[in-house]
Amino acid sequence: MTKVLEVAGVEHRFGDTVALDDLALDVAAGECVALLGPNGAGKTTLVNLAVGMLVRQRGTVLVGGADPRWASTRRQLGVVQQTLGFPKVLTVRELITGAAVRGGKPRSSAAPIMAELDLTKLADRRARKLSGGQQQRVQLAMALVAEPRLLILDEPTVGLDMPARRKFWEIIARRRAAGVGVLVTTHLIEETAAVADRVVVLNHGRVVTSGSPTELVARFPDRTVLARTAVPERRLAELPGVLSVRREDALVRLATREPEELLRVLLAEDPALSGLRVEGTGLAEAVLAFTGGSARPNAEVRA
Ligand SMILES: Nc1ncnc2c1ncn2[C@@H]1O[C@H](COP(=O)(O)OP(=O)(O)OP(=O)(O)O)[C@@H](O)[C@H]1O
């Protein structure tokens, strides 16, 4: 499989701070790799090296086999980054046409991409005056118009509502089907689980683990059985397969690896049992565990 991003043996320091430490990571054509990790893990540093904004200190960073600091390499790269501000006076059409020309494409390539991203009606508006979600679409159009081989998306869906997020990932899926590789950094872990082939978890500048979202979650086989019951804690702890018991008011949380067996004995023990629920480990909890945080049972947890 062709690699569109190759990172190997990368070390990067800011003074005494080691931001990246012997880092290796690849993105293949058509693959979506999510880079996750807590604040300060080194995600932005890696992105800035990959887009050629930082000068490499040690190791290899190649986009489409070439140095991302070369202008010819950057033409193969589409970037959506939170921090980029638009110039004051330029319209949506001017920005997207400019990105097409810089990428070696004809000016006429702007119109179809504006249509795909619902920007046609906004074409003559100044980009700076648009809403956050609309500006995000302009950035994506600028990133896509030159048909890059690699997309780097840094927190790309922050500020987008649910329909806009769905649309965003649909557009990315179409590019992936055409062989475009994607590197995405995000704190919205559960969203990533739905779109990424592979997750790379960074902490303190190092890769602490990587794998498909399903593989990472499968490394945490524990399930939590929640129920309202009058059965005393000591008795609950003796039930088969119970690893731990925690009571929160009337609710008990029982950790187990055999939830079905536990449910059977629980119901036999307390026919008046109510509020029964079984929770599994989500990707967010798995990532927190890998980076030394404690698990939190929320649908969308910031790493
Ligand atoms: N320009 C800089 N000068 C000094 N230190 C920096 C600079 N940029 C990053 N660092 C340090 O490098 C480390 C990695 O930072 P980086 O911004 O890459 O992390 P991150 O994973 O993107 O974090 P976040 O999720 O908060 O954006 C941190 O310890 C940070 O303080």
Q: Would the CB of 19 count as within 6 Å of ligand 1?
A: yes
Asked if residue 266 is part of any domain, the answer here is yes
Distance 97 CA to ligand 1 centre (A): 33
Residue 30 CB coordination number (10 Å): 17
Q: 96: closest CA among 77, 81, 117?
A: 117
ipTM of the complex: 0.97
One domain for residues 51 and 175: yes
One domain for residues 192 and 255: no
One domain for residues 170 and 57: yes
Q: What are phi and psi of 91, to 5 degrees?
A: -85, 170
Distance 20 CA to ligand 1 centre (A): 9
Residue whose CA is closest, atom 4 of ligand 1? 14
Distance 79 CA to ligand 1 centre (A): 19
CA dist., res. 22 & res. 20, Å (int):
7
pLDDT greater than 50 at residue 118: yes
Instruction: List the domain range (segments joined by +) for residue 124.
Output: 3-217
- Given this model, what pLDDT does residue 241 score? 85
Mean pLDDT of 268-287: 85
Residue 301's SS3 state is coil
pLDDT band, residue 294 (cuts 50/70/90) = very low
More confident residue, 283 or 273: 273
Distance 290 CA to ligand 1 centre (A): 19
- Given this model, what pLDDT does residue 296 score? 37
pTM above 0.90, yes or no: no
One domain for residues 258 and 125: no
One domain for residues 77 and 209: yes
What six digits make up the tokens of 63?
């986009």
Residue from 23, 39, 288 to probe ligand 1 pocket by mutation (most atoms less than 8 Å from CB): 39
Asked if residue 124 is part of any domain, the answer here is yes
Distance 184 CA to ligand 1 centre (A): 17
Asked if residue 24 is part of any domain, the answer here is yes
Please give the number of the atom of ligand 1 that sits closest to the Cα of 42: 18
Residue whose CA is closest, atom 13 of ligand 1? 19
Please identify, among 167, 190, 217, the residue that sits at the C-terminal boundary of a domain.
217
Which residue carries 């524990």 as its tokens? 222
Q: Report how far apart, in Å, the C-alpha atoms of 158 and of each of 125, 126, 172, 189 are.
A: 22, 21, 16, 12
One domain for residues 229 and 213: no
Amino acid identity of 149?
R
Q: Would the CB of 42 count as within 6 Å of ligand 1?
A: yes
- Given this model, what pLDDT does residue 82 score? 72
Please give the number of the atom of ligand 1 that sits closest to the Cα of 46: 18
Total domains in the fold of the chain: 2
- Given this model, what pLDDT does residue 84 score? 64
pLDDT greater than 70 at residue 302: no
Distance 14 CA to ligand 1 centre (A): 9
One domain for residues 48 and 116: yes
Please identify, among 169, 202, 217, the residue that sits at the C-terminal boundary of a domain.
217
CB 298 within 8 A of CB 284: yes
One domain for residues 154 and 268: no
CB 114 within 8 A of CB 93: yes
Asked if residue 195 is part of any domain, the answer here is yes
CATH assignment at residue 69? 3.40.50.300
Residue 272 CB coordination number (10 Å): 9
User: What percent of the chain is predicted at pLDDT more than 90?
Assistant: 57
One domain for residues 262 and 200: no
What six digits make up the tokens of 222?
């524990």
119-162 pLDDT per residue, tens: 999 999 999 999 888 998 999 999 999 999 999 999 888 878 88
61-98 pLDDT per residue, tens: 999 999 999 988 988 999 998 766 788 889 999 999 99
One domain for residues 197 and 260: no
97-115 pLDDT per residue, tens: 999 999 889 999 999 999 9
Asked if residue 208 is part of any domain, the answer here is yes
CATH assignment at residue 243? 3.30.70
User: Average pLDDT over the chain, rounded to whole?
Assistant: 89
One domain for residues 23 and 92: yes
Q: Would the CB of 37 count as within 6 Å of ligand 1?
A: yes
More confident residue, 296 or 53: 53
Residue 298's SS3 state is coil
Residue whose CA is closest, atom 3 of ligand 1? 14
CA dist., res. 56 & res. 48, Å (int):
10
CA 193, 10, 47 angle in degrees (round to 5)?
45
Please give the number of the atom of ligand 1 that sits closest to the Cα of 45: 18
Please give the number of the atom of ligand 1 that sits closest to the Cα of 15: 4
One domain for residues 151 and 262: no
Asked if residue 285 is part of any domain, the answer here is no
Please identify, among 217, 244, 264, the residue that sits at the C-terminal boundary of a domain.
217
